[in-house]
């Protein structure tokens, strides 16, 4: 290739022109960018030395063979297609990327800016391998190498945009592994990481090239599938995912069959928000998990109504805080042989303004605590309950009733904040010893993040506060106590008490749980005692302590009986000691 310099001087000498050409040739040799001219048959006709420095091949080797032989096989056809189409238009600058093989066998990503002029391509090329590697690190999960949330959302936007040209739907599948934390706890995090890699590979094998499998973190995976004809096809795909995961994975010296819950959302409109799709798939997954796990669910109109109802409840709860509409009722924990209460549980109730005081479903925790758990409201409510219960405990202790008050702690309070610090603050403010308080945590709350839950409870125990495992026998731990939890009390789930007077299997489970608690040196509490027959059987099976409507219903601080023997009481409206939002600081 020749170089021709142009002088602006009207009478430039030949020597000056040759000097300019030499300077351009020198620049061609010294630049770090890759410069090339290429014949239409794909052979390099001129290369600068930067090629040799980057790829390890000599310039003679590179020019002796068609450039396709140095190119990654997957990039040959796309590159030639671009060059052929551009060659027909001529003079149009084309930008594209491909991979060239280094002499050591590795691949370098090259960014081309090329233009065809007559029978020659002129190209300036940059090595972008490091930049693309950094971009990939930012867009991919480091463990499984799958796309992360950022890349998933980008691909979802593109897939939804293509619905303009499609009559089908875009589907998003939210896959959450059931009881994966048990693998980490029992087999170690190394085995858990290898299992996650194996799961990612199996999911990728199941999908088409046009689908995306992403890992959001932990044991959560998301599948984005386009060119899906209907919701039924999306649900069928979710079913195949469940089946694929049930095939055993190697895990250390054994094998593990992973069970999962899958939530599905579908979109028909290109205007759909991909973040909304992800939330919908997540909500459907949680409904599948709440139904017992190992299943799948679709975000449909019924779930959409449920979400809408929860949002309305949250909004009303936010208004309830300054209106002082929440109150506490107290239910004693009593010796089944009779006698003074050994504890008392504080139970939150909601009385919206304008209520007539009659019992109403929307006043019970089941109606509003789950929606509150989905927002920061659960922390605000938890703070108020803890303060109000401690204030009531102080009043009772001054009157000679020194029994611990039990307060329920949500999963968010247990794992997302400094629970021990907050408890210490309330105990100090109310001048209470640690033994005046018992924190109740459910199996589900502990399962959310076992390591953080365990650490938080150990910190609480250092304050002298008791810890009770609530709803035992209903969830993750089944009938085996969770390891390394600093427990004092086990509260048997009411499902073990219900009908155990007529069901031999339930009765055997109840007895086994009592024996397990005794062996561990824990106090067992039978919850949900509502009939005399249940009371008699609980005594017969050597359960010493119980709680339930037969013994006493929840009542106001003025009406609750803490010194009476076991018996029933009638319901009556209560007046709260402390309403939410009121100032009780001295």
Q: Where are the domains of the chain?
A: 31-132, 140-299, 308-547
Element (H, E) at 390: helix 377-398
pLDDT at 560 over 60: yes
- Residues 526-559 have pLDDT tens digits of 999 999 999 999 999 899 999 999 999 999 988 8
When pLDDT is cut at 50, 70 and 90, the band that residue 387 belongs to is very high
Give CA angle at 500 (496, 503), nearest 5°. 120
What does the chain come to in residues? 586
Q: In this predicted structure, what is the pLDDT of residue 321?
A: 76
Q: Which position has the token pair 């561990």?
A: 520
- Residues 2-53 have pLDDT tens digits of 333 333 444 444 444 556 677 777 778 878 889 999 998 889 999 999 999 9
Q: Which position has the token pair 């190209």?
A: 123
Q: In this predicted structure, what is the pLDDT of residue 88?
A: 63
Instruction: List 223's β-bridge partners, or say none.
Output: 173, 213
Instruction: For domain 140-299, give the CATH number.
Output: 3.30.70.270
Percent of the chain with pLDDT over 90: 39
Q: In this predicted structure, what is the pLDDT of residue 293?
A: 66
When pLDDT is cut at 50, 70 and 90, the band that residue 313 belongs to is confident
Instruction: For domain 308-547, give the CATH number.
Output: 3.20.20.450
**DSSP-derived secondary structure for 251-280:** ETTEEEPPPEEEEEEEE--TT--HHHHHHH
pLDDT at 395 over 70: yes
Distance CA 204, CA 201 (A): 5
pLDDT at 348 over 80: yes
Q: In this predicted structure, what is the pLDDT of residue 481?
A: 67
DSSP reduced 3-state for 109:
strand
Q: How many CA atoms lie within 13 A of 454 on its CB side?
A: 9
Which of the listed ranges 342-346, 377-381, 472-476, 514-518 does the model predict with the highest average pLDDT?
Answer: 342-346
Q: In this predicted structure, what is the pLDDT of residue 359?
A: 42
Distance CA 442, CA 142 (A): 33
- Between 574 and 267, whose confidence is greater? 267
If phi > 0 it is left, if psi is from -120 to 50 it is alpha, else beta; for residue 246 that is alpha
Homologous superfamily of the 31-132 domain (CATH): PAS domain (3.30.450.20)
pTM above 0.75, yes or no: no
When pLDDT is cut at 50, 70 and 90, the band that residue 424 belongs to is very high
């Amino acid at each position: 290739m020749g170089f021709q310099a142009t002088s602006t001087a009207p009478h430039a000498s030949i020597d000056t022109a040759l000097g300019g050409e030499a300077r351009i040739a020198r620049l061609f040799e010294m630049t770090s960018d890759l410069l090339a001219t290429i014949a239409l048959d794909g052979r390099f006709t001129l290369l600068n030395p930067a090629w040799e420095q980057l790829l390890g091949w000599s310039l003679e080797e590179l020019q002796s063979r068609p450039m396709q032989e140095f190119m990654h096989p997957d990039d040959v056809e796309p590159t030639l297609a671009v060059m052929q189409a551009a060659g027909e238009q001529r003079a149009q600058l084309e930008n594209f990327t491909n991979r060239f093989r280094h002499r050591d066998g590795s691949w370098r990503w090259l960014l081309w800016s090329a233009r065809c002029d007559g029978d020659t391509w002129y190209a300036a090329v940059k090595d972008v391998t490091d930049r693309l590697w950094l971009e990939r690190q930012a867009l991919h999960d480091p463990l499984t190498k799958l796309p992360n949330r950022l890349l998933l959302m980008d691909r979802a936007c593109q897939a939804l945009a293509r619905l303009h040209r499609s009559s089908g739907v875009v589907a998003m599948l939210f896959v959450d592994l059931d009881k994966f934390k048990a693998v980490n706890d029992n087999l170690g995090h190394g085995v858990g990481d290898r299992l996650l890699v194996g799961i990612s590979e199996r999911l990728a094998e199941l999908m088409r090239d046009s689908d995306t499998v992403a890992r959001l973190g932990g044991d959560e995976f998301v599948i984005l599938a386009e060119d899906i004809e209907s919701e039924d096809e999306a649900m069928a795909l979710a079913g195949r995912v469940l089946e694929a995961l049930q095939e055993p994975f190697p895990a250390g010296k054994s094998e593990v069959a992973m069970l999962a819950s899958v939530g599905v959302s579908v979109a028909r409109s290109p205007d759909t928000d991909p973040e909304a799709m992800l939330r919908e798939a997540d909500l459907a997954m949680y409904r599948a998990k709440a139904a017992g796990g190992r299943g799948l669910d679709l975000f449909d109109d019924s779930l959409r109504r449920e979400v809408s109802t929860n949002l309305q409840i949250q909004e009303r709860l936010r208004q309830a805080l300054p209106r002082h509409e929440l109150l506490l009722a107290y239910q004693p924990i009593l010796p089944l042989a009779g006698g003074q209460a050994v504890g008392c549980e504080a139970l939150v109730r909601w009385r919206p303004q304008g209520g007539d005081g009659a019992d109403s479903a929307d006043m019970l925790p089941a109606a509003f605590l789950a929606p509150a758990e989905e927002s920061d409201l659960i922390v605000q409510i938890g703070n108020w309950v803890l303060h109000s219960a401690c204030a009531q405990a102080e009043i009772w202790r001054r009157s000679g009733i020194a029994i611990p008050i039990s307060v329920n702690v949500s999963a968010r309070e247990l794992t997302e904040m400094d629970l021990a610090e907050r408890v210490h603050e309330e105990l100090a403010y109310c001048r209470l010893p640690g033994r005046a308080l018992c924190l109740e945590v459910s199996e589900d709350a502990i399962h959310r993040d076992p390591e953080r839950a365990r650490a938080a409870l150990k910190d609480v125990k250092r304050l002298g506060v008791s810890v009770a495992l609530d709803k035992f026998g209903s969830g993750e731990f089944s009938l085996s106590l969770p390891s390394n939890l600093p427990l004092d009390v086990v509260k048997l789930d009411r499902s073990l008490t219900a009908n155990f007077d007529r069901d031999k299997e339930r009765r055997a489970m109840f007895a086994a749980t009592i024996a397990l608690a005794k062996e561990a040196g824990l106090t067992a509490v039978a919850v949900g005692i509502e009939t005399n027959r249940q009371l008699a059987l609980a005594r017969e099976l050597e359960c010493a302590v119980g709680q339930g409507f037969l013994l006493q219903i929840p009542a106001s601080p003025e009406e609750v009986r803490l010194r009476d023997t076991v018996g029933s009481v009638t319901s009556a409206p209560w007046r709260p000691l402390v309403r939410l939002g009121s100032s009780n600081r001295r």
